[in-house]
């Protein structure tokens, strides 16, 4: 019976290179590209970290990669403050920053790196966000985060929001919490998959020069999708910690 439920729950689009881990089948190519994305983020973070200065040396001016990392950090702090509020935002900066950077680097890796050149026993490499299981996992993490934020601040009084402003809105408010992760995951997955498919078809049918404007547009939309996901995640967390009078 349990195996039947796992079969029903599995979501697959296209062919995949399956790995057997502890009796479960996982998408190997998604794990490979996800590890590469995480490694890129870690390397950039380490290289862009402020260098320790001697006590008598004073503060140094950021240069090169450090400028970029500080700009991204400030950008995410401002986003969190805008969406969550000044009192609660600081503790959620790491979460929103991780979500934003993972999606941003994943999307750009799909737009810039020729993953399909690398051959696999089955399936093909692509951006991690090109797999719906990745986007669903990110959306579920966001749902867990805003439930945790609300309950940790208000206790079980958080669930009063389901009957606010009137009790007959209970089914609608519950349905809203189910649709949030669905909309987050399918919006991101659909946009990234469509972009990669369009570019792939154009490269196959026409010379390389023609798809370049589409690829540049893809870079822009990929960045926008990361921003939209992080903004909505922050908005949901802000909504859950908001005081309703």
The pLDDT of residue 99 = 94
**Does 7 map to a domain?**
no
Question: Euclidean distance between the first and final Cα of the chain, in Å?
Answer: 47
**Does 151 map to a domain?**
yes
Strand partners, 25: 20
Q: What is the spatial distance between Cα 40 and Cα 43, in angstroms, rounded to a whole number?
A: 5
The pLDDT of residue 177 = 82
Q: What is the spatial distance between Cα 120 and Cα 142, in angstroms, rounded to a whole number?
A: 32
pTM: 0.81
Q: Which H/E stretch holds residue 27?
A: strand 24-27
pLDDT digits (tens, 9 = 90+) for 199-219: 777 777 776 666 677 777 778
**Does 135 map to a domain?**
yes
**Does 184 map to a domain?**
yes
The pLDDT of residue 101 = 94
Q: Which H/E stretch holds residue 21?
A: strand 18-21
Mean pLDDT of 110-129: 71
Helix ranges, the chain (H): 2-9, 28-47, 65-84, 93-112, 132-154, 170-205, 212-241
Domain containing 153 equals 65-243
Read off the tokens for 162.
């389901």
Domain count, the chain: 1
**Does 45 map to a domain?**
no
* Residue (of 183, 176, 213) closest to 198 by Cα position: 213
**Does 26 map to a domain?**
no
pLDDT digits (tens, 9 = 90+) for 34-90: 899 999 999 988 887 776 655 555 556 666 778 888 888 899 999 999 999 888 889
């Amino acid at each position: 019976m349990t195996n039947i439920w796992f079969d029903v729950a599995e979501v697959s689009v296209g062919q995949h290179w399956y790995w057997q881990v502890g009796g479960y089948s996982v998408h190997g190519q998604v794990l490979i590209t996800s590890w590469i994305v995480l490694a890129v983020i870690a390397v950039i973070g380490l290289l862009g970290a402020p260098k320790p200065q001697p006590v008598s040396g004073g503060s140094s001016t950021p240069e090169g990669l450090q400028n970029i990392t500080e700009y991204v950090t400030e950008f995410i702090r401002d986003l969190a403050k805008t969406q969550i509020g000044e009192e609660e935002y600081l503790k959620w900066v790491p979460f929103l920053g991780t979500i934003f950077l993972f999606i941003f680097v994943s999307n750009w890796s799909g737009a810039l790196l020729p993953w399909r050149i690398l051959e696999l026993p089955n399936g093909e490499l692509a951006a991690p966000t090109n797999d719906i299981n990745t986007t669903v996992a990110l959306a579920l993490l966001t749902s867990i985060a805003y439930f945790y934020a609300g309950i940790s601040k208000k206790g079980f009084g958080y669930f009063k929001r389901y009957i606010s402003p009137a009790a007959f809105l209970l089914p609608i408010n519950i349905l809203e919490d189910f649709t949030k992760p669905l909309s987050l995951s399918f919006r991101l997955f659909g946009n990234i998959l469509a972009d990669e498919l369009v570019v792939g078809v154009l490269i196959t049918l026409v010379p390389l020069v023609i798809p370049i404007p589409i690829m540049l547009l893809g870079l822009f939309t990929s960045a926008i999708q990361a921003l939209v996901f992080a903004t909505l995640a922050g908005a949901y967390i802000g909504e859950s910690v908001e005081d309703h009078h």
